[in-house]
Amino acid sequence: MNSPLLQLLVLAGIAVFLILRLKSVLGTRDGFEGPPRSEKAGVAPSRRDTFEVIDGGPDYDIVDNVSEGSDAADALARMKRIEPSFNVAEFLQGARGAYEMILMAFERGQLEDVAPFLEEDVYEAFAQVIDARQEQGLIVEAEFLGLRETKLVEATLEDDNRAAITVRFVGELTSVVRDSGGEIIEGDAKTAKRQKDLWTFERVMGSDDPNWRLVATGE
């Protein structure tokens, strides 16, 4: 196998790998600031939705998402004390939307659209893959099919009020990579793939900036 072809295949593999890692998706919300919670039509709100937290009682917005008494639960409770309007369920809904938005921007090669939601190192890592893809004339075609899981797995709060929340996403998508001639060199547009990701979002609680930023990605 000659060197140019080998290089092309390697870059194609990198592009697909990143697309799949990025591609797990979120619901659909613009922005990362969690949207208002809404009830499903025809479904009465549960007791937990209407029950106010009293002193000494559990905060179901927290314990419905992490184990009661865990370090994550403690961190989330402290976030709420700093910023009473913070809501875990709304954060997760916003995270779903941010996930899809960032993935789609990566596919289109338009990271400037989501720059406010990316920490600099993450932005640069994504940009390098997009640049390499474009230099080789590779075209990625991907379609997000849906999310199977969105789970909060870790939450921390530093002394400077910097909060970090890690979310696991499990989604399904189709993805193909075409060369400059339009031939598919990787993937199958008719075969759905399941993708698992861990994304960490960060924000200073109590600050004027409402946006959570993606600071780390993993599996």
- How do residues 55-111 score in pLDDT, each as one tens digit? 567 899 999 999 999 999 999 999 999 999 999 999 999 999 898 888 878 877 889
* Secondary structure of residue 133 in the 3-state scheme: helix
Query: Which one, of 76, 80, 47, lies nearest residue 63 by Cα?
Result: 76
Is residue 54 one of the residues assigned to a domain? no
Is residue 42 one of the residues assigned to a domain? no
Is residue 80 one of the residues assigned to a domain? yes
Query: Which one, of 11, 3, 21, 1, lies nearest residue 186 by Cα?
Result: 11
The pTM assigned to this predicted structure is 0.73
Question: What span, in angstroms and rounded, lies between the C-alpha atoms of 24 and 147?
Answer: 7
- Reading the chain (219 residues) residue by residue, the pLDDT tens digits are 554 444 444 444 444 444 444 433 333 323 334 433 333 333 333 334 443 455 567 899 999 999 999 999 999 999 999 999 999 999 999 999 898 888 878 877 889 989 999 999 999 999 999 999 989 999 888 888 889 999 999 999 999 999 999 999 988 888 888 988 888 998 888 898 888 889 999 999 999 999 999 999 988
Is residue 38 one of the residues assigned to a domain? no
Residue 189 lies in domain: 3-33+61-218
Is residue 41 one of the residues assigned to a domain? no
Place of tokens 């996930």: 99
* The total number of structural domains that make up the chain: 1
Is residue 46 one of the residues assigned to a domain? no
Is residue 105 one of the residues assigned to a domain? yes
Residue 67: Cβ-neighbour burial (10 angstroms; 0-12, 13-18, 19+): exposed
The DSSP letter of residue 40 is: P
What φ, ψ does residue 131 adopt, rounded to 5°?
Answer: -65, -45
Is residue 44 one of the residues assigned to a domain? no
Query: Which one, of 168, 148, 164, lies nearest residue 156 by Cα?
Result: 164
What pLDDT, on the 0 to 100 scale, is given for residue 57? 77
Question: What span, in angstroms and rounded, lies between the C-alpha atoms of 171 and 169?
Answer: 6
Q: What is the CATH number of the domain that holds 74?
A: 3.10.450.240
Give me the amino acid identity at 16. V
